[in-house]
Structure 1
Amino acid sequence: MATRHRIERRERETVLQPTWLVVLSWAVLSVGLASTAIILVDHFVLRYRQPVKVMEIVWPATALYFGPAAVLAYRQWGRPQSPRWLERHGTPPRRPRLAVTIIETLHCATHCVLGAIIATIAVFGFSLEIFDKRLWPEFIGDFVAAVVVGLLFRYFTQADAGGRRAWAAMRRFIRGDLLSVSVFEFALLGWLALMEFMVFHETLQPSSPVFWLIVQIGSIIGFFAAWPPTLWLIRRGAKAELLGKPQ
């Protein structure tokens, strides 16, 4: 019975995912992975390391869904911050306020993107369901994983030691990241629910490139949704301690 159900679901998935969409999904995913590889090579082979180490996760993760646009942003605003670039060129170019807002938003977006990848693997790997729906544990897992990743980011950039380090990281995350992460997750999960129920009728699986294309698009939507609250937090001074103020 279970085998028959899987076959029927696979047949519906094939009908709802035309060949052109599958090919497009593979192409977009390939561009994203290639863009990520370019940034990783720049970090760890060409040794343009970032002074804020979590940015060595943020920039490659951003390239997964923004592709070449992330590479261009990194070359303009990320690479010039590295000690190797400064040794060769001196003072980095002036960074506008817009760049600070974009980078801070990308920082919070990375929590959600990594959280979505972790939660998706866990939910589908363990076949988790709530009320016979896979989407609900995925939604819960996405948000919880995004918060955990955000707390870890803050923890490893915190100067305090011992128990004070954990509490300081939690306070900084709640003060500077939780709002942006929540808005991003609301936009991403809303988009996934729309695609799942209204377009693909619960046939999307992580084994399909179309699933990850939908996640990429949802991540871009989430980024633009998180932009206004991030800008508000910057203006309140809640996020200035991570990347600094515009030069």
Structure 2
Amino acid sequence: MRREQISLLAHADHPIAAPLDDDSVRRLLERAVPHDNARVLDLGCGGGEWLLRALAAYPGLRAEGVDVSAGSLERAREAARVRGVQERLVLHHEDARDFAASHAFDLVISVGATHAFGGLPATLAAARGHLAPGGRVLIGDGFWAREPSPEAVGMLGELSDLPATTDRVVADGWTPVHGHISTREELDDYEWAWTGSLASWALDHPDDPDSAQALATATAHRDGWLRVYRDVFGFVCLVLRPTSGRSGPRTMP
């Protein structure tokens, strides 16, 4: 079973592929979307849930999403058709690092996708390149809430604590104007949904050749979460504005 298919199954019951509940997503969008007619870009959009919710809340908003997963983008297209917002949504099947738009955006989103760019600084640099003057960025990334074990670092990579993460953002020329730190309930709900959705699919499809692998993956993920990183991992979303005049796309037609 490919990683893309595992992710699609694991996020079936938690379409916001990050540890946030519906109210947190709504409040972040209220702070991040600058006006009803905004252009919004999601770099690493997955199933497009951030964009779909923004489109539903702001009738004049136009959105674009970029992702390498064809399956996730098809799911986003179908969801947009069901919600009646497909005419205001454009999806691009390509690597977000290589994406070049013909216009700038009032809001650039990248939540839980910094790995696609090689880390937080590179993600912010990519977002800056697509940002219109006066625009904002909504970024979401993990941090260490406590000192991690070497095993936790091996699983989740080199993260900083929350103050150091914020300092890094500020040093890069951004000012946080709003933020949300995921609660224990949000973190646990996300992990239970991830492991439970994947495990349920495996149990519901015992004759599928991928069933055993899916169940083993769910079990291993749950074990790593509970035993290794549950008590040390945190997640923060920040709404950012450029501190100086360094915003704006690098090249525009």
- Taking structure 2 as the reference length, the TM-score comes to 0.25
- Taking structure 1 as the reference length, the TM-score comes to 0.26
Instruction: Please state which structure has a larger fraction of its residues in helix.
Output: 1
